[in-house]
Amino acid sequence: MTTTKFYNQPETLESANLIKQQILALGSALFFTENESLLKLPVHVINNVQVDDQNRIWFLIQRPTQALTEFDQELPAKLDFFKKGISYYIKIKGTASIVDNVAKVNGLTGNNEENKDLVAICVKIRTIDYFDTGVKPTLSWFQQSKQQLSSLFS
C-alpha cells in the first residue's frame, strides 16, 4: 500500500530537517525541466545533492553546449528522488535556475580547480510529494539462508 504526503513548504524546522535527511538518504534523482520554450535542458541523473538552510536543492550538471544566456533565467523543474531498497520516494517541484559561478561550482565539487565543464543548478522547492511504498528491503538468498539457519539454532 502506498501512502502519500504532500507538503507545500515544510512548516517547522523539524519537518524541514526530516525532509532534508530523507532527500540526502535517497541521494540520486532525475532532474527534468518543464518549461514550454524550444530550448530545454535535457533530463539529468544527479547524484551529489546538497540542501541548504533555505531549503534549496543544489547540484551540478554538465554545461550545455548552447550558451547559458539562451536558456530561461528561471525554469519550472521536477526532481524525482529514489533509491533501490528504500521504502519511500520523493517528488519535488520547484523553480530551477542555472548558476554559472566558479566559486559555487567549486563549493559543490569540493575542490579549488576551475571546472568549466559544470554549472550549478539551484532548485527552490515549491511542493514536495512523499510516497511511502511500505516495501521492506528484500534479503539476498544468502542472507535469507543465514537467517533461517540462525533461527533453527536460537
3-state helix, strand, coil in the chain (%, to 5): 25, 40, 40
2 touches 30 (CB < 8 A)? no
Amino acid at 45: V
What's the chain's Rg over C-alpha atoms? 19
The domain that contains 58 carries what CATH number? 2.30.110.10
Quote the domain boundaries for residue 124. 3-152
State how many domains the chain has: 1
pLDDT at 124: 94
pLDDT at 1: 46
pLDDT at 105: 80
Taken as a whole, the chain contains a residue count of: 154
**Phi and psi torsions of 127, nearest 5°:** -135, 150
Enter the DSSP assignment of 144: H
pLDDT at 115 over 50: yes
